[in-house]
Amino acid sequence: MNLLEEIRKIIYIKDEMLINRLFDEYHPVDIALEADELEDDELETFAHLINHENMAHLLEASEEDFSARIMAFFTDDELIDIFTHMETSIVADLLGVLSTVRRKAIFSSIKSADKVTLKMILSFDEESAGGIMTTNFIALRENLTAVEAVKKIISISPKTEIIDKIFVTDNYHRLKGIVTMRDLLVSHSDTLLSDLLEEVDFYVYGTDDQEVAANLFSKYELDILPVVNSNMAILGVITSEDIIAIIDQEHNEDMLQMHGVNADEEYDSTLFESFKSRIPWLIVNLVTAFLASSVVKGFESTISQVVVLSAAMPIVTGMGGNAGSQTLSIIITSLARGELSLKEDYKLIFKEIFLGLFEGAIIGILAAAVFVFWHHNIYLGFILFFAMILNMIIACSMGFLIPLILDKIKIDPAIASSIFLTTFTDTCGFFIFLGLATIFLPFLI
């Protein structure tokens, strides 16, 4: 029996004990994934059978859509009780899923100790460092001794996940450094934290984009990153296990957006969701396609005299598109890693121009050879060869420039680059090839 069947059976017999025992046997992530398949009435029964502590685990492990479905079955008071079993940063995420009215009602009933932290987290954008940090960390004053620190940590530790890195602050909550549990345990008991601490190499501001944090983790293989405010007071921390979800999300967004798909579409989205996610980009593409098509229409009289041009022209545009998207994928990947900027790396355009030249020469010669062999017309070969070179130079340099310029003017290059690129490679490709053919028409007939 698989997990979903097991859940359904327990719902049918309404057995509270059995359903809560599931949480000993399965990971909440798996329970959430399966329970998302339940019908609304089944899910309601399911939700009310689970005790609040397990419900907290389930909500922590749920995707946004599923947690919205679940939370709808609870009263405000029930939710507040469930929230007491959770970390404040996750409560903040869940509040973000609720309607404004419910959010305000629940917020006003939350006990005031958590309210301050909650308010602080909610003041940050969801995709900022402050929005993804956890506030469950240990910060101690620098004038404590090692033995005092260990005592404090032991008393605090049941409430926090991270106990091996302790942040050390001055009397004004300003971050001075980090002490590891290891250093505390091996040091003399009366050593002051200020003598044990190591300076923090990296930190982010609460308002920084989550991508800034993600790139620091990737580049320097960090395990933890403190989040501070403009006075260097520590607000929270981001851990490497938290950032993995963010990195995954950013990567997948780039991958999907580059192909004109909404970042939140999943393979199992409904037909209607997928349709909504994809049709806008297809329509934008259609406009581009018509632009290219109208170039072809402009050369109808040339094509009518040398029909073989119609078989050769998609090769020029298609290969240009391929060469350009090779450059595009490199540039977008590097931009996402924060390695590249227009200002510092504009000179690399020369590399792309030469790359287009050489690629165009090789591909152009091969394509020309086939057409000369097919058509016994050497002039057609020459035209194909030169058109290929020119279009590939355009393709490679545009594949380089477009994402960098979009990035510069703060448009996500992953979303918009490929549409601009195709516009260039298609319209230029048709125009160059058919233009050359028109000029040398007497030799082709």
Binding to a copy of itself in span 2-61, by CB under 8 A: 27, 29
Q: Answer yes or no whether residue 139 interacts with a copy of itself by CB under 8 A.
A: no
- Beta strands (DSSP E) in 112-257 are 139-141, 165-169, 175-180, 204-205, 224-228, 234-239
- Tokens matching residue 404: 């960098």
Element (H, E) at 153: helix 146-156
Q: Answer yes or no whether residue 391 interacts with a copy of itself by CB under 8 A.
A: no
Q: Which of 370, 405, 415, 441 binds a copy of itself (CB under 8 A)?
A: 370
Site map 199..228 versus a copy of itself, x via CB under 8 A: --x---------------xxxxxxx-----
Q: What is the DSSP letter of 346?
A: G
Q: Which of 39, 40, 41, 268 binds a copy of itself (CB under 8 A)?
A: 268
**Residue 290: CB minimum distance to a copy of itself, A:** 6
Burial of 52-78, coded b for 16+ CB within 10 Å and e otherwise, reads: eebbbbbbbbbeeebbebbbeebeeee
**Residue 189: CB minimum distance to a copy of itself, A:** 13
**Whole-number Å distance between alpha carbons of 193 and 203:** 20
Neighbours of 259 (CB within 10 A): 11
By CB under 8 A, the residues from 142 to 171 that bind a copy of itself are 150, 153-154, 157-158, 163-164
Residue 60: name the closest of 38, 100, 93, 35 by CA: 93
**Residue 218: CB minimum distance to a copy of itself, A:** 5
Q: Which stretch binds a copy of itself (CB under 8 A): 50-58, 128-136, 354-362, 436-444?
A: 354-362
Give the residue with the Cβ less far from a copy of itself, 191 or 229. Answer: 191
Q: Which stretch binds a copy of itself (CB under 8 A): 95-103, 119-127, 140-148, 343-351?
A: 343-351
Site map 81..120 versus a copy of itself, x via CB under 8 A: ----------------------------------------
Beta bridge partners of 168: 140, 177
**Whole-number Å distance between alpha carbons of 164 and 147:** 15
Residue 403: name the closest of 395, 415, 394, 391 by CA: 415
Give the residue with the Cβ less far from a copy of itself, 158 or 230. Answer: 158
Q: Answer yes or no whether residue 361 interacts with a copy of itself by CB under 8 A.
A: no
Give the residue with the Cβ less far from a copy of itself, 11 or 87. Answer: 87
What is the full DSSP assignment across 23-76? HHHS-HHHHHHHHTTS-HHHHHHHHHHS-HHHHHHHHHTS-HHHHHHHHTTS-H
Let me know: does 444 contact 371? Beta carbons within 8 Å: no
Q: Which of 79, 200, 315, 402 binds a copy of itself (CB under 8 A)?
A: 315
**Residue 47: CB minimum distance to a copy of itself, A:** 22
Count of residues that interact with a copy of itself, criterion CB under 8 A: 106
